[in-house]
Structure 1
Amino acid sequence: MLTRINQKNGEELSILGFGCMRFPTRAGGIDEPRAIRMIRYAIEKGINYFDTAYIYHGGKSESLLGKALAGGFREKVKIATKLPSFMVKNLDNAKKIFNTQLERLQTDYIDYYLLHMLTDKAGFDRLADMGVLTWMEELKEKGTIKNIGFSFHGAKIEFEQILKAYPWEFCQIQYNYMDENNQATKDGLLLANDMGIPVIVMEPLRGGKLVTNLPEDVIKAFAECDRDRSPAEWALRWIWNHPQVNVVLSGMSDEAQVEDNIRIASDSHANSLTDEELGVFDNVKRILHERTKIPCTACGYCMPCPAGVDIPGCFSHYNDKYLIKDKGTRFRYYRNLGAVAAQPSYASQCKDCGKCESHCPQKISIRSELKTVSKEMESVFYKAGIAIARKFMKIK
């Protein structure tokens, strides 16, 4: 298992991290004996970074990981878990959640603690105003939290603002060869690296969509260069080719995935892809670009929108719906642009002012496209659902 050094604290982290969101299941719940065996086997093979969260597997993921690490395994690994920002109503609420997490994980400290799923700077400010960051710093002084970070699911500009708003010790972003210009983007990855902030990558396979839903000509392009590599291996090697990435998380749900990912992580060095291999990705991106409905590169020149619309985010979710036929895109649109955002930013908020179009390098008819996105991504009950969700989570 290859490792990379955390530039903030000098820790040696396995380049493959075990994402604890997709454990094997049985009868509607986690198959505990099997999942525990997988975790302990992964540790024996050198994986030392385990990423979970308060909400994974309906709240059972942390407890399962705690069981798996009992009996001497805890000392061999780093645990990363997350404060569900969208569920935090006040500081006491955050403290209660954290204490529950310690109990579930059967530990008295968390190595890497994240604010979960920030989508905009306003969301960070809300937590900071509650005193959450100050409280986390107090826990860090006591050794209860070792490193403070955040996971991100918003737009590039918001990522940069959050990154510069606090002396973070690490961050977690979605990054893969399809998302090079989405969410935090490659620019965000490079900025974090320039600032000396370690980067943990999530969704390297887009929840499996870069394995199971690829167009046939993409699969053919990979196979013509190396037929022994699966699309999953190509995708993982592309990310590990970036020296700015510290750890890539993989949600492994069976033993074969664990074995295969460990094999790939044993020789995926930074800057190791050949010119021919990089050319394959150029070809793949061209194929995918041709199937993209709206040619948005997420450059951000259209932002900020006076009406609060996350224009690149709206286009990204809409493109996903058609590009990889992902059934979860409408839910993520609902979640990221409405339910958990500090300020809703969905397409139908557009006021038709046209300011964005004068700045768009791609000359996209943004107002017209936003109407299309609204029609296809927002159901009749969309706004009512968002209002209910925000009221429940006390997000104004």
Structure 2
Amino acid sequence: MDRRDFLKSGLFAAAASAIIGPKALAQEVEKQVVRERLSREILNYNPQMQYRPMGRTGVKVSALGFGMLRLPMKNGHVDFDQTTPMVRRAIEGGVNYIDTGRVYLGGESEQAVGRALAGGWRDRVYVTSKMPWWEMRSVDDFEKFFDQSRRTIGTDVIDFYHIHMIMHRAWKDYVLPYRLIEKMERLKSQGKIRFMGFSFHDSLQLFKKVVEYTPAWDFCLIQHNYLDYEYEAGVLGPKYAAANGMGLAVMKPVRTGFLARLPQTMHDALASTGIRKPDAEWALDYLWDIPEVSVAVSGMGSMADVEENLKYAAKARPNMLSPAEREALGAAIYAYRQAPGHIDCTGCYQCIPCPHNVAIGYILAYVYNNYLLHGNRQRALADYTVSMSPVQRGDPASSCVACGECLAKCPQHLDIPNLLARVRETMGK
């Protein structure tokens, strides 16, 4: 600060003190000092956004992350003209975590990120992407895919890089034999990625095995929400990741839109306690209440979604839910499980691998139970076909031959072959 600026600031402080009083002025100066310090410590700091530590990485990420999978579409392709302003508005609102993947939207998700971050916006955010193991045909594909992602996004460095969708088949047939973890470590040592991690879709048992395999993991991405507290890594996943020093991103906080547009029975259950807020806010608040959650990665399909989520994120705090709010969430879960025909599958994945590659837990716990509550067959079929390729998750219910191998493995003692036959009749496959 030069002499002229000093005199100006002194005159301003004297004038302000005369107007608002010395105590109020001191408080305002203290706030300004704090804001300036946070601006230096936090990328793209905005006082209207909340930020959380990302495990051992040493960086703080926005409580809300922009998930680049459910974008506005036009004629079967990403509507870049809509998407770019949405991403930039989120960044202006303090979001500093942009989550994409090589296979998202046929590669157009990474293109959308590149377009949105051009012109200086890249420097304001952490960018993620993911290595799709199921597309690999040789060990050389790892670095080839990585370089293609960098070029598409328009960046030299990818901040958070994942092995995409680790599950039993990925771990056994690709991650270990192809030495993908060592390849990630090499990229990190070369400065091409800042942090290495994985996204996950399988049982808590496998999740623990993956986390414990190497201390090199910096972070992970799991699916979690208030309905799925037993599903996949479940409610213990965040605690286990944090206990191992890892940052934790959570995907599908509104369960691919299900928790943003609740069926009436669940909506009424939440309202019965007298607490009223939008369905999506309930879902996000549940995650932000968990201290171990670093960032909730939310797909946003419109500018209205961006504005609403920014508003919710401004209030995000660990341990933010009151006892009455937790009771309301419990009532909503109970209402969900009372749906006629509900299958009491938790998606624990103890039944897989299935000898015929049927995606048992995903089909029963996720696709079919969602269908029962909403009755939207088109939406259910999208979850069933688009989100469940035979390589990634497994085959449809029609592949079940009723061999019975799954029966002894099920902790809920479900009659899995008969339940899959019901799904096959409903879904037509």
Give me the TM-score of the superposition, normalised by structure 1. Answer: 0.85
Query: In 2 relative to 1, CA 150–72 (structure 1 residues): closer, same or farther, beyond 3 Å?
Result: same
Aligned to 1:284: 332
Cα distance in 1 for partners of 2:74, 2:399 equals 41
Give the letter aligned to residue 209 of structure 2: Q
Aligned to 1:195: 244
> Aligned ranges for residues 298-377 of structure 1 at < 5 Å?
298-299=347-348, 311-316=360-365, 317-325=367-375, 327-333=378-384, 339-341=390-392, 348-349=399-400, 352-353=403-404, 357=407, 360-376=410-426
Aligned to 1:204: 253
Q: What are the Cα deviations for residues 224-259 of structure 1, in whole angstroms up to 9, with x where unaligned?
A: 445651101111111111111110011112222111
Question: Do the aligned partners of 2:356 and 2:399 also contact (CA within 8 Å) in 1?
Answer: no
Aligned to 1:185: 234
Query: In 2 relative to 1, CA 330–2 (structure 1 residues): closer, same or farther, beyond 3 Å?
Result: same
1:256 aligns with 2:304: yes
Query: In 2 relative to 1, CA 62–274 (structure 1 residues): closer, same or farther, beyond 3 Å?
Result: same
Tell me how many residue pairs correspond in the alignment: 377
Query: In 2 relative to 1, CA 27–346 (structure 1 residues): closer, same or farther, beyond 3 Å?
Result: closer
Question: Do the aligned partners of 1:172 and 1:202 also contact (CA within 8 Å) in 2?
Answer: yes
Shift of 1:219: 1.5
Cα distance in 1 for partners of 2:357, 2:105 equals 33
Cα distance in 1 for partners of 2:94, 2:381 equals 37
Cα distance in 1 for partners of 2:205, 2:177 equals 21
Cα distance in 2 for partners of 1:254, 1:311 equals 33
SS of residue matched to 2:249: strand
Shift of 1:3: 0.7
Query: In 2 relative to 1, CA 5–376 (structure 1 residues): closer, same or farther, beyond 3 Å?
Result: same
1:54 aligns with 2:105: no
Query: In 2 relative to 1, CA 22–333 (structure 1 residues): closer, same or farther, beyond 3 Å?
Result: closer
Shift of 1:368: 3.2
Cα distance in 2 for partners of 1:59, 1:165 equals 30
Shift of 1:312: 3.3
Query: In 2 relative to 1, CA 364–58 (structure 1 residues): closer, same or farther, beyond 3 Å?
Result: closer
Give the letter aligned to residue 339 of structure 1: P
> Aligned ranges for residues 63-82 of structure 1 at < 5 Å?
63-82=111-130
Question: Do the aligned partners of 2:203 and 2:348 also contact (CA within 8 Å) in 1?
Answer: no
Shift of 1:307: 6.9
SS of residue matched to 2:177: helix
Question: Do the aligned partners of 1:155 and 1:312 also contact (CA within 8 Å) in 2?
Answer: no
Cα distance in 2 for partners of 1:27, 1:347 equals 32
Shift of 1:15: 0.7
Give the letter aligned to residue 185 of structure 1: G
Query: In 2 relative to 1, CA 21–312 (structure 1 residues): closer, same or farther, beyond 3 Å?
Result: closer
Cα distance in 2 for partners of 1:343, 1:276 equals 40
Give the letter aligned to residue 286 of structure 1: Y
Match of 1:237 among 274, 277, 285: 285
Give the letter aligned to residue 310 of structure 2: I
Q: Which has the higher contact order (CA 8 A, sep 6+)?
A: 1
Match of 1:97 among 145, 149, 154: 145
1:293 aligns with 2:342: yes
Shift of 1:271: 0.9
Shift of 1:152: 1.8
Query: In 2 relative to 1, CA 152–144 (structure 1 residues): closer, same or farther, beyond 3 Å?
Result: same
Q: What are the Cα deviations for residues 321-376 of structure 1, in whole angstroms up to 9, with x where unaligned?
A: 3233354444544577661248769674465446x545655443344334434554
SS of residue matched to 1:183: coil
Shift of 1:176: 0.9
Match of 2:91 among 6, 25, 43: 43
Query: In 2 relative to 1, CA 362–67 (structure 1 residues): closer, same or farther, beyond 3 Å?
Result: closer
Question: Do the aligned partners of 1:314 and 1:347 also contact (CA within 8 Å) in 2?
Answer: no
Question: Do the aligned partners of 1:17 and 1:50 also contact (CA within 8 Å) in 2?
Answer: yes
Cα distance in 1 for partners of 2:139, 2:285 equals 41
Aligned to 1:176: 225
Shift of 1:130: 2.2
Cα distance in 1 for partners of 2:329, 2:256 equals 19
Cα distance in 2 for partners of 1:68, 1:249 equals 17
Q: What are the Cα deviations for residues 18-62 of structure 1, in whole angstroms up to 9, with x where unaligned?
A: 111223334543333432222222112210000011122332221
Give the letter aligned to residue 390 of structure 2: A
Cα distance in 1 for partners of 2:61, 2:289 equals 16
Cα distance in 2 for partners of 1:81, 1:35 equals 18
Question: Do the aligned partners of 1:20 and 1:50 also contact (CA within 8 Å) in 2?
Answer: yes
1:107 aligns with 2:158: no
Give the letter aligned to residue 368 of structure 1: N
Instruction: Report the more deviating stretch, 147-156 or 39-48.
Output: 147-156
Cα distance in 1 for partners of 2:200, 2:305 equals 25
Give the letter aligned to residue 276 of structure 1: A
Shift of 1:108: 0.5
Query: In 2 relative to 1, CA 346–95 (structure 1 residues): closer, same or farther, beyond 3 Å?
Result: farther
Aligned to 1:215: 263
Instruction: Report the more deviating stretch, 88-97 or 136-145.
Output: 88-97
Give the letter aligned to residue 174 of structure 1: Q
Cα distance in 1 for partners of 2:212, 2:397 equals 25
Question: Do the aligned partners of 1:289 and 1:295 also contact (CA within 8 Å) in 2?
Answer: yes
Query: In 2 relative to 1, CA 170–161 (structure 1 residues): closer, same or farther, beyond 3 Å?
Result: same
Question: Do the aligned partners of 1:84 and 1:115 also contact (CA within 8 Å) in 2?
Answer: yes
Give me the TM-score of the superposition, normalised by structure 2. Answer: 0.79
Aligned to 1:22: 70
**Percent identical residues:** 34
